[in-house]
Chain A
Amino acid sequence: MEETRTTFEIPVGPVHPALKENIRFTFRVEGERILGVDVKPGFVHRGIEYMGMRRNLIQVLYLSERICGICSISHPIVLVQAVEQAAGIEVPPRAQYIRVIVSELERLHSHLLWAGVAAHELGFDTLLHLSWKVREAVMDILEELTGNRVDYAIPIYGGVRRDISPEQMPKVSEMIRYYRGLFEELSDTFLRDPSVEARTRNVGVLEPEEAHELLAVGPTARASGLRKDVRQDWPYLVYGDMDVRALTPEDHGLEVRGDVFDKIVVRLLEVAQSLDLIERCMEEMPDGEITSFPKLPALLAHLKKAEGEGIGRHEAPRGEVIHYVRLEAGQEGPSVWKVKAPTYSNLMPWVPMFEDQEIADIPIIAASIDPCMCCMDRVHVVRSGRPEEWTKQELLRRSWEKTRRLCG
């Protein structure tokens, strides 16, 4: 009998129970082994940038908050940084500290949320419920400080909208103590559990060279041993005074392997790091104004006169977020608004991560970069009612054209 080796193609998505959001994978498999993958995004494009260019800047702030429901402070923080740079607005120190506190609280809740999702993808639902139960403490603090559990509406151009009162300080300290007490327990359940280790060790490996070449960001890059963190490399707000260091599994005394287990380690280490940062900010926070524009009509008038361009960058829980804004005098909204969410950089690392893995590991590998599709989808080509595909060359040509148009 002649020996034949047949490969099959398995489509997963755009709508699939293993995925939280819409994206299409086409896996080439031989038996249970994945030979290669083709990733196709673009199903959840919402045209947010276009909507933003037709609103005034205060309205754009709340639109940017809704780019991502989980990073709902990262996007506004980047946008206000970009606009402040363009319009030359100073931010009082106290406001900068409050921005750092809220964004670290967000990292805390996002990483705990991810831990639950990862446990669920492993089929370990007990751990999912445990992590999400633990997460409620930080959600309550966010509600206490901002008035909402999600969509905090805290930053505004030139400062923040709500101060942290002396009565709220002990509640935050209590939350920090609660998590510090739980930390041993949590890392024990995740890192010393045989079933978690069996499902994640040497699964979805991303080599450091690949992570570097494919420009992975955030915990995905750090789990591969790259010390890459916007807070460390290009400090903004008050992160420069906080000596933030990018954490890799080496900081936990482990050898870097770049697998899903390492991604869990990095995220757990960052939970502890965020707790330290929040505590330090609370101690060092100076008194003073929280915004340089207490009257909003004055802010609107200032923004209408402003002219220039600005770039904001921030280390969101998933990696680096960049916003580019251009303002023109006499126009209330931005004339250009460009958003780059972290998942955009973490899509290509999926390709080497999936190679040579088993079909059963697809959900956890897909979830290991903490993907957020609708944050990332910035373009969808439709011509005469049908979707169209563009090649790399075509996209490059068009992006050059756009840059020339922007530069005038």
Chain B
Amino acid sequence: MILKVLMAQLFSRPVTNRFPAKYMPRSVTGFLAKVGQGKAKLVPPVPVPKGFRGKLAYDRETCIGCQLCIRVCPASVIMFKPETKKIRIHVARCTFCGQCVDVCPVDALAMTEEFLLAAYDRFDPSLIVE
């Protein structure tokens, strides 16, 4: 049986998605820069389903500063800024449980579909939402 599967595999497409390119580029950042200039084509990642729990999005204007999200966050991701009564979210520590989204009384928090969050510095601006 297994031989049959293996032979069939020779002529079928790979199961894995070849993200970001068909062959691994020598430098990923260089490749992404080329994609930005339009010189190379990106193989898109597998689409995420509806209701995916990705990077947090924060609506500063709606937030009323009730601090409930800080109380339920299991990873102490959220910091309160007393001078403005708003919050700062350190996504680098986030566990993506979405409990803050559930608890928010005014729906100021939401989970986006963004999941490519790698950075060299945990205080990178892309990893801080405020």
Contact = CB atoms under 8 A, between A and B. Distances in A.
A185 interface: yes
Q: Which of A130, A144, A147 has the most CB of B within 10 A?
A: A147
A199 interface: no
Contact of A147 (B5, B15, B53, B74): B53
Interface in A136-190: 136, 140, 143-144, 147-148, 151, 153, 161-162, 185, 188-189
Given A153-B99, A189-B1, A61 B52 contact: no
A112 B3 CA distance: 20
B49 A189 contact: no
A153 B98 contact: yes
B125 interface: no
Interface in B50-97: 51-53, 68, 71-75, 95-97
B74 A55 contact: yes
A185 B1 contact: yes
Given A153-B97, A296-B102, A296-B103, A56 B71 contact: yes
B117 interface: no
Contacts of A56: 71-72
B49 A144 contact: yes
A226 interface: no
B6 interface: yes
B2 interface: yes
A264 interface: no
A300 interface: yes
A62 B99 CA distance: 9
A58 interface: yes
Given A55-B74, A153-B97, A297-B68, A161 B102 contact: yes
A187 to B, nearest CB: 10
Contacts, number: 66
A61 B74 contact: yes
B102 A62 contact: no
Interface string B37-48: 000000000001
A61 B98 CA distance: 13
Contacts of B15: 133, 136
A399 interface: no
Given A189-B2, A300-B71, A151 B49 contact: no
A144 B83 CA distance: 40
A12 to B, nearest CB: 30
A118 to B, nearest CB: 15
A126 interface: yes
A143 B52 contact: yes
B71 A126 contact: no
A384 to B, nearest CB: 31
Contacts of B75: 62
A311 B23 CA distance: 53
A127 interface: yes
A63 interface: yes
B73 A59 contact: yes
A153 B74 CA distance: 12
Given A58-B99, A151-B95, A63 B74 contact: yes
A193 interface: yes
Given A162-B51, A297-B68, A297-B103, A151 B96 contact: yes
Contacts of A61: 74
Interface in B18-35: none
Contact of A148 (B5, B6, B72, B96): B96
A300 B72 CA distance: 9
Interface in A270-325: 296-297, 300
A126 B102 CA distance: 43
B96 to A, nearest CB: 6
Interface string B109-130: 0010000000000000000000
B56 to A, nearest CB: 13
Nearest to B98: A153
Nearest to A63: B74
11 contacts: A55-B74, A58-B99, A62-B75, A65-B97, A66-B95, A144-B49, A151-B95, A151-B97, A153-B53, A185-B5, A188-B1
Interface of B: 1-2, 5-6, 15, 48-49, 51-53, 68, 71-75, 95-99, 102-103, 111
Given A153-B97, A188-B1, 10 more contacts: A56-B71, A62-B75, A63-B74, A66-B95, A133-B15, A147-B111, A151-B95, A153-B99, A189-B1, A300-B72
